Amino acid sequence: MKDVSFGQFYPVDSFVHRLDPRLKIVFLIAYIVAIFLASNFYGLAACAAVLLLIMIAARIPFGKVLRAVRAVTFLVLFTTALNVLFYKGETVYWTWKIFCVSFEGIIFSVFLALRLVLLVICSSMLTYTTTPVSLTDGVESLLTPLKWIRIPVHALALVMSIALRMIPVLMDETARIKNAQMARGADFESGNLVKRVKATIPILVPLLLSALRRADELGDAMDARCYTGGNHRTKYKKLRFTWRDLVAFLLVAALIGGVVAMKILLPAPY
C-alpha cells in the first residue's frame, strides 16, 4: 500500500509539466521507437542522456524515478537471466546441457535490460508530469481521426479519465476499510497463501460495494447536470502549442536523427 505513488502525478511546476500533453504522448511513442531503433550502446547512451535531461527538466527526484524501476526489477532480472543462459554466442565461457553462457549473450542481455529500464522510466515520466485530466484530453485529441469512423472517442476518454481519477479514491477507501478491519483484529500479514487470500475478503466486499455505490452516485450526478456526451462540448482548457513544445520537438527529433545516424555511421563492435 505504501507504493501507491508509482506512476502517479508528481505536482511540481516544470518545463516538462507545462508541455502539451498531446506532444508528450507523441514524444513518448517517438522515444520508444528511438530506443528500439538504437542497435548499439552509443544509441542507447544517447537515449539515456536525453532521458536524464528530461528528468532534470521535469524536476522529478531521482528516488521517485528509481521507484518506478523497482516495480519491474523482477521482470528485468528474469529476462536477463534467460538471455544470459540461452543466447547462442560464439565466445562461449561455460555450457551445461542446454545452457550456454557466452560473451555475446552477456552483452545482449545487458543491452536488453537497459532498453527495458529506459522504457519504464520514460513511460513513468509521462504520468509523473501529466495530470490524468490533461492526459485524457491529449488522448482524446490524438484519437480524433477515429471519430470519423464513428468510434465514440469522447466516451472512451471519459471512461479513461474516470478510471484514473478513481484510483486514488479507491486506494484511500481500501486503506480506510483495511484500518477498520484491522481494528477488529483482522490479520493480513501472516499465514499461508490460502489464509491470506481469504483474509482479503473483508476488504474486497466492502470495497466492491463502495465502488458500485460511487459509480451509481457519479452517474446520477452527471445526469443531474444534463451530461449527454461529447457532441458540441467545449473545453475549459484549450490545448495550445508554445515555444516549449517546439524546443521539446527539436530535442526528440534530434534524438531520433542521432540514433539513426549512429546506427548507420557507427557500426558498433557488438
Q: Is 130 in the site for another protein (CB under 8 A)?
A: no
Contact 10, 124 (CB under 8 A): no
- Closer residue to another protein in complex, CB, 104/173: 173
Nearer to another protein, 45 or 209 (CB): 209
Tell whether residue 180 is a contact of another protein (CB under 8 A). Answer: yes
Nearer to another protein, 141 or 174 (CB): 174
> Least separation, in Å, of the C-beta of 47 and another protein?
28
Q: Does 12 bind another protein (CB under 8 A)?
A: yes
Rounded distance, CA 194 to CA 199, Å? 9
Q: How far is the CB of 215 from another protein (least distance, A)?
A: 15
Q: Is 205 in the site for another protein (CB under 8 A)?
A: yes
CB 115, CB 35: distance < 8 Å = yes
Which of 73, 91, 179, 228 is close enough to bind another protein by CB under 8 A?
Answer: 179
Would you state the cell numbers that stand for residue 9, as one nine-digit string?
A: 502525478
Count of residues touching another protein (by CB under 8 A) = 22
Q: Which stretch binds another protein (CB under 8 A): 90-98, 117-125, 202-210, 230-238?
A: 202-210
* 72 is a site residue for another protein (CB under 8 A): no
3-state secondary structure of 172: helix
Q: How far apart are CA 60 and CA 128, in angstroms?
A: 8
Question: Is 210 a residue that touches another protein (CB under 8 A)?
Answer: yes
Q: If DSSP codes are grouped into helix, strand and coil, which group holds residue 101? A: strand
By CB under 8 A, name the one of 11, 145, 267, 269 that touches another protein.
11
SS3 assignment for 115-147: HHHHHHHHHHHHHHHCCHHHHHHHHHHHCHHHH
Binding to another protein by residue 184, rule CB under 8 A? yes
Q: Which helix (H) or strand (E) holds 65?
A: helix 62-70
Closest to another protein by CB, 141 vs 210, is 210
- Angstrom distance (rounded) from CA 190 to CA 201: 15
224 binds another protein (CB under 8 A): no
What 8-state DSSP symbol labels residue 99? E
The least CB distance from residue 213 to another protein, in Å, is 9
What are the CA-CA distances from residue 88 to residues 81, 83, 108, 196, 269 (Å)?
14, 9, 10, 42, 17
- Using DSSP's 3-state secondary structure scheme, residue 184 falls into coil
Cβ closest to another protein, residue 5 vs residue 73: 5
Assess contact for 95 and 82: CB atoms under 8 A. no
Q: Which stretch binds another protein (CB under 8 A): 5-13, 34-42, 154-162, 233-241?
A: 5-13
Any contact of residue 168 with another protein (CB under 8 A)? no
**Binding residues vs another protein (CB under 8 A):** 5, 10-12, 176-177, 179-187, 201-203, 205-206, 209-210
